[in-house]
């Protein structure tokens, strides 16, 4: 990215990189967000920035601990099901509507 004066090629490249996403972190440039309105874009930017601040603060607390892979045959049965209904039913939530 070459600053505020974007060429049409740069605009197209950023648009391709963003794809269907609503935000992106640009190396050495910062955050980028898009929305249907300026208010939507601001909301996305605010919370993405806040998430980055929280991650930076928590990274200072202790070294990162890797999440170890648990083979499927060792996981509890209720966690093995990937389809929403099966996982919800096994967790006792079969009658609860899924969020939109």
**Residue spans per domain, the chain:** 8-59
Indicate whether 57 pLDDT > 50: yes
Task: Give the model confidence (pLDDT) of 16-31 as tens digits.
Answer: 999 989 999 988 889 9
Band (pLDDT 50/70/90 cuts) for residue 51 is very high
DSSP 73: G
Helix (H/G/I), strand (E/B), else coil: 42: helix
For residues 41-61, average pLDDT? 92
Q: What percent of the chain has pLDDT over 90?
A: 32
32-36, 54-58, 71-75, 91-95: which has the minimum mean pLDDT? 91-95
CB 80 within 8 A of CB 72: yes
Compute CA distances 1 → 6, 27, 82, whole Å.
Answer: 7, 10, 40
Q: Give the whole-angstrom CA distance, residue 100 versus residue 97.
A: 9
pLDDT of 64 reads 78
């Amino acid at each position: 990215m070459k600053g505020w004066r974007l060429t049409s090629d740069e605009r197209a490249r950023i648009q391709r990189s963003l794809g269907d996403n609503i935000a992106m972190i640009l190396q050495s440039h910062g955050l980028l967000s898009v929305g249907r309105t300026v208010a939507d874009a601001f909301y996305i930017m605010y919370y993405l920035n806040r998430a980055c601040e929280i991650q930076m603060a928590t990274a200072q607390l202790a070294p990162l601990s890797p999440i170890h892979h648990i083979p499927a045959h060792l996981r509890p049965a209720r966690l093995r099901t990937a389809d929403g209904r099966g996982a919800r039913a096994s967790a006792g939530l079969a009658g609860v509507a899924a969020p939109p």
